[in-house]
Structure 1
Amino acid sequence: MTATFALPVPSSNGSLEQYIQTVNTIPMLTPEEETELATRFHRSDDLEAAKKLVLSHLRVVVSIARGYAGYGLPQADLIQEGNIGLMKAVKRFEPTRGVRLFSFAVHWIKAEIHEFILRNWRLVRVATTKPQRKLFFNLRSMKKGFAALTDKEAQQIADDLGVKREEVLEMETRLTGQDIGLVAENDDDEAFAPIDWLADHDHEPTRQLEKRAFDRLQSDGLREALEALDPRSRRIIEARWLADDSGATLHELAAEFGVSAERIRQIEAKALTKMKATLAAEVA
């Protein structure tokens, strides 16, 4: 799908503002239009219908990508990665489930942006465990203002995220050392669609639908994804990602199974890919 039709492309050395203005002029779809286009795409592989679904939601990607402006990576690149997630969401979207494409696509857009940040930002090397990754992506929003954390505030965040107070303070030091401008690239309200503000409302309908789907994936979906794995793969995933503590290392599991750490990494990667496919099927 990505190679068959052209989309507007944000450019780091071009006019990013022009791109944002362009995608904000593309009208959002009504529920009826969205259902009709998605049905056409899935029944007859109508790429023109898929293109309209993607184009109408490019502004959503821009809104989400702006939330990751503090990681020192080009905004245009973040948008590009988010667009890939959007196209993956369109491919898997099923309107008969009763969820709007916006709500369904949020997960896929954020997932691609997260992967891009983890691949490209050198300071993320400290985020080697699941709790640390959670700390990495949540510390900014949990801080009250821009002042340095007090010991009490750091301890509270550590308790909430299941990490050590020292890890919170270390991550804060690393993040603030890489911060770019604190203001948005454009503070003109007219430059952004109303969806930019609606996405922040906890009780907005699409947010509620997203949370409901996420909660289901965290329980039934995760259990089914784990059950689809062989015993060794399940043990590795549970030890690496679902342990109450910081999780087992590759070398610890290598010693347990009598193989190399690289072999454990390969099994883990294959298992995660299989679990993602199972979870995607659950969503669809």
Structure 2
Amino acid sequence: MTQLVSLPVPTAVGSIDQYIQFANRVPVLSEQEERDCATRFHDDGDLDAARRLVLSHLRLVVAVARGYLGYGLPHADLIQEGNIGLMKAVKRFDPRRGVRLVSFAIHWIKAEIHEYILKNWRLVKVATTKAQRKLFFNLRSFKKDSNALSPDDVAAVAAQLGVKPEEVVEMETRLGGQDVPLDSGRDDDDDHFAPIAYLPDPGAEPAEVLEQAQQAHLATDGLRLALENLDERSRRIITARWLNEDGKSATLHELADEYGVSAERIRQIEAKAMKKMRGELATVM
């Protein structure tokens, strides 16, 4: 087994530039050293070997992350997400397949960076399907300037990426748009209206207003009239069972003891009173 050189131990750094300098100072492992480390980690779970593999490929993450600076996200965050992808790659890397770790890891590094960009580039996700993701990360390279794609350009991009022309147009529109807050928070400008001002008020719908008025009528006047048309005992039973102000309902047995009848008789009186009240309420709707 090849004798491995000692790799530097990472320490806290004060800036992204210092981190990049550190990553570039870590020696690149030879093919044999890489195979030995990967074998030790794969077969024996040697974490020091895994650490060596990760540290020796930090410069790769920095280089890949630099290619995504055009999306306006912090370089440090892109590198951090890429490092997560690198660690996932090291965990899954099998040295017996005959490929170098750099070729295997770049897929995982890009996948984590892509996921981070899609989640954080806009408040609303611009790409969710596989075709949309492909468009998102490739459409910019096809555009020669900031002008909209012509129909011929749209057709060419769609054919090259294997998607529908309308999907190209939709993604171009999404990329050209901007997030707009629902409420701008500007109270000093009477002529300024945020999008939230144009949202419909459910309570302002005529049908909703009428329904609320009917419910309020039933809850007050309608219910009062329906109770007044009951005999005193039925009114007492309904009130004790359903309309107690303290929220505590009387039981059938309690009312049965009060009137000296069976609980079944109280239930029958209650059912008859409820039926009569429903009829009264139907007439006032």
Task: Name the SS of the counterpart of 2:18 in structure 1.
Answer: helix
- Partners of 2:57 and 2:126 in 1: how far apart? 34
Aligned with 2:27: secondary structure? coil
RMSD: 2.7
Residues 16-165 of structure 1: pairs in structure 2 closer than 5 A: 16-122=16-122, 125-144=125-144, 148-165=148-165
The residue identity in structure 1 corresponding to 2:139 is L
Aligned equivalents of 1:145, 1:52: Cα separation in 2: 43
Residue in 2 that maps onto 1:228: none
Q: How many residues align?
A: 171
CA contact (8 A) 2:119 2:125 kept: no
Residue 73 of structure 1 aligns with an amino acid whose one-letter code is L
Q: Could you say what secondary structure the match of 1:116 adopts?
A: helix
1:46 and 1:82 mapped to 2: Cα distance?
22
Structure 1 runs of 4+ aligned residues shifted over 4 Å read 6-10, 145-148
Cα offset for 1:88?
0.9
Q: Counterparts of 1:155 and 1:9 in 2: how far apart (Å)?
A: 50
User: How big is the shift at 1:147?
Assistant: 5.5
Contact 1:118 1:124 in 2 (8 A): no
Q: Do the aligned residues in 1 keep the contact of 2:154 with 2:168 (CA within 8 Å)?
A: yes
Give distance in 1, aligned partners of 2:145 and 2:101: 34
Q: Measured at CA, do residues 164 and 8 of structure 1 come closer, stay the same or move farther in structure 2, by a change above 3 Å? A: farther
Compared with structure 1, are the counterparts of its residues 158 and 139 closer, same or farther at alpha carbon in structure 2 (3 Å cutoff)?
same
Q: TM-score, normalised by structure 2?
A: 0.53
Taking structure 1 as reference, are residues 174 and 8 closer, same or farther at Cα in structure 2, changes over 3 Å only?
Answer: farther
Q: Which has the higher contact order (CA 8 A, sep 6+)?
A: 1
Structure 1 unaligned regions, length at least 5: 1-5, 179-284
Cα deviation for residue 101 of structure 1 reads 0.4
For residue 74 of structure 1, report the CA deviation from its aligned partner.
1.2
Counterpart of 1:39 in 2: which secondary structure?
helix
**Partner letter of residue 82 of structure 1?**
G
Flag the 1:163–1:93 CA change in 2: closer, same or farther, 3 A.
closer
Classify 1:90/1:7 alpha carbon distance in 2 versus 1 (closer, same or farther; 3 Å).
farther
Deviation at residue 102 of structure 1 after TM alignment: 0.3
CA displacement at 1:163 relative to structure 2: 3.8
Provide closer, same or farther for how the CA distance between residues 170 and 23 of structure 1 changes in structure 2, counting only shifts above 3 A.
same
Gap change, CA 1:45 and 1:123, over 3 Å in 2: same
> Cα–Cα, structure 1 residues 158 and 93, in superposed 2: closer, same or farther, change >3 Å?
same
